[in-house]
């Protein structure tokens, strides 16, 4: 298999490029700097010997590894995104390599006393004796999803260099703007030409997911009236107090920090307020479609009830669906999940089949006609300063890709 150092060098070359996306931009990609990595990936795919390499005007990259057998086989795709979240800075990433991790605290940044500790992040203890790549405590790492890109490129390189491994036609796709919910919006499924695909965008080694949240975004605006505070009695209406009443009317324990597994939630992720205007931004999540619709209806009922209470249109609500649970599209073709599960078991990995408490490009692609379960990329603590990835997990993900291709060719 490809050496650890080769994987480390490739991964670091990707994370050193800032590719943060921007939800307030109307372009695709949403930031010009995403082109820096996109163009590098095109050059790298050419260098390792891929075929039919293309990059379109929106930075969507596609390439082909032709079949090396003389029988008809399904065409399988592997997809990852190259943007990083705008939730936390991905500029000037300074990766740290921790060899032979001993299970103790990792000092990410001594000057700022930033510690990656197994006392808080217990999953660290799964990787004693392994090589970890961490941040320096001031940025995210970008393993979401540059680990996935590393794994796909490295797997294709390995298969090209080992033609004795028989496989059908394989497709790779790299997308911008997944972190702002647009990664699949301009993905040309017909051009890609795969029968099904896998996103390499999961976390812990062994993760295999074909269920994700139904998702919507909600913007609630509260309207007040501002007058001089010295003469405000009976006249001032403070929109921030109204907004607080809306917040407190929602079920307090149905939030991300109180839920797990299949439990859905309301997540208030932004609040901007002044006396006259306050804006609340929520995401709404649930695996169950009926419960998902009920959550949206509850928000609407609260707005209606509060407007009735205050005898004015104090609140307005705008809800937009974002993506839906891919389970509906994957269950009719469960053999593609079975194939990934068998590939993991064949190389000694215990599959962790569980729902995604989020979404991937795969959820949207599944509804666009490309069934697309999600496979682990290996990283932990995405979107923040405590992000890390074990190199051995990336090695195993590369092996899974190769084994999927090999097993599919034997059917």
CA distance 320 to 222: 18
Q: Which two tokens stand for residue 159?
A: 């298969």
Q: What's residue 333's pLDDT?
A: 97
Supply 25's token pair: 């931009």
pTM passes above 0.85 = yes
Catalytic residue among 136, 178, 361, 399: 178
Provide the pLDDT for residue 359.
75
What's the chain's length in residues? Answer: 411
Of residues 20, 44, 83, 399, which has the active-site annotation?
Answer: 83
pLDDT of residue 231: 85
Contact of 50 with 172, CB cutoff 8 Å: yes
pLDDT reported for residue 186: 96
Burial 314-351 (b: 16+ CB within 10 A, else e): bbebebeebbbbbbebbeeeeebbebbbebbeeeebeb
Location of each CATH 3.30.70.360 domain in the chain: 214-323
The predicted-structure confidence for 337-347, as pLDDT tens digits, reads as follows 999 999 999 99
Tell which CATH classification among 3.30.70.100, 3.90.1150.10, 3.30.70.20, 3.30.70.360 matches the domain 214-323. 3.30.70.360
Whether residue 207 lies in the annotated active site: no
Q: Is the pLDDT of residue 181 over 90?
A: no
Running DSSP on this structure, what letter comes out for residue 251? Answer: -
- What confidence tens digit (pLDDT) does each residue in 273-323 have? 999 999 999 999 999 999 999 999 999 999 999 999 998 999 999 999 988
pLDDT in tens, 36-88: 999 999 999 999 999 999 999 999 999 999 999 999 999 999 999 999 999 99
What percentage of the chain carries pLDDT values higher than 90? 93
DSSP of 354-394: --BSS--HHHHHHHTT----EEE---BSTTSTT-EEEHHHH
On the question of pLDDT at 335 being above 80, the answer is: yes
- Name the token pair of 211: 């269920």
Residues of each domain in the chain carrying CATH 3.40.630.10: 4-212+325-410
Say whether pLDDT at 1 is over 80.
no
Q: Give burial (CB, 10 Å; 0-12/13-18/19+) of 38.
A: buried
Q: pLDDT at position 172, please?
A: 98
- Check whether 232 has a pLDDT greater than 90: no
pLDDT digits (tens, 9 = 90+) for 251-265: 999 999 999 999 999
Identify the CATH assignment for 4-212+325-410 out of 3.40.50.300, 3.65.10.10, 3.30.565.10, 3.40.630.10. Answer: 3.40.630.10
Q: Annotated catalytic, 83? A: yes
| Residue (of 285, 277, 216) closest to 243 by Cα position | 277
């Amino acid at each position: 298999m490809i050496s650890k150092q080769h994987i480390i060098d490739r991964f670091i070359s990707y994370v050193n490029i800032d590719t943060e996306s921007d939800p307030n931009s109307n372009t695709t990609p949403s930031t010009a700097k995403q082109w820096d990595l996109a163009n590098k990936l095109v050059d790298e795919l050419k260098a390792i010997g891929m075929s039919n390499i293309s990059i379109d005007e929106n930075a969507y990259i596609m390439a082909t590894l032709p079949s090396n057998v003389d029988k008809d086989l399904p065409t399988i795709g592997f997809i990852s995104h190259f943007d990083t979240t705008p939730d936390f800075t991905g500029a000037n990433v300074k990766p740290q390599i921790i060899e032979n991790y001993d299970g103790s605290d990792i000092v990410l940044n001594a000057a700022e006393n930033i510690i990656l500790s197994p006392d808080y992040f217990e999953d660290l203890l799964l990787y004693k004796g392994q090589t970890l790549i961490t941040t320096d405590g001031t940025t995210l790492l970008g393993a979401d999803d540059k680990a996935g890109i590393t794994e796909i490129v490295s797997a294709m390189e390995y298969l090209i260099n080992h033609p004795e491994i028989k496989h059908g036609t394989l497709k790779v796709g790299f997308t911008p703007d997944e972190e702002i919910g647009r990664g699949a919006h301009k993905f040309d499924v017909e051009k890609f030409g795969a029968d099904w695909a896998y996103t390499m965008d999961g976390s812990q080694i062994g993760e295999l997911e074909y269920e994700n949240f139904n998702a919507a975004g909600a913007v609630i605006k509260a309207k007040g009236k501002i007058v001089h505070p010295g003469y405000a009695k009976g006249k001032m209406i403070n929109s921030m107090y109204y907004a607080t009443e809306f917040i407190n009317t929602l079920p307090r324990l149905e939030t991300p920090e109180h839920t797990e597994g299949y439990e859905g939630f309301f997540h208030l992720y932004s609040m901007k307020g002044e006396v006259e205007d306050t804006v609340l931004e929520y995401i709404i999540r649930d695996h169950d479609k009926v419960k998902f619709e009920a959550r949206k209806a509850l928000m609407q009922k609260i707005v209606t009830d509060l407007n009735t209470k205050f005898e004015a249109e104090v609140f307005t609500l705008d809800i937009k669906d974002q993506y839906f649970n891919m389970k509906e599209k994957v269950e009719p073709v469960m053999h593609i999940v079975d194939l990934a599960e068998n590939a993991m078991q064949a190389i000694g990995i215990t599959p962790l089949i569980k729902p995604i408490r989020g979404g991937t490009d795969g959820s949207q692609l599944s509804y666009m006609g490309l069934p697309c379960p999600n496979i682990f990329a290996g990283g932990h603590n995405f979107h923040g300063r405590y992000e890390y990835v074990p190199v051995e997990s990336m090695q195993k993900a590369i092996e899974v890709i190769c084994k999927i291709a090999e097993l599919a060719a034997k059917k």
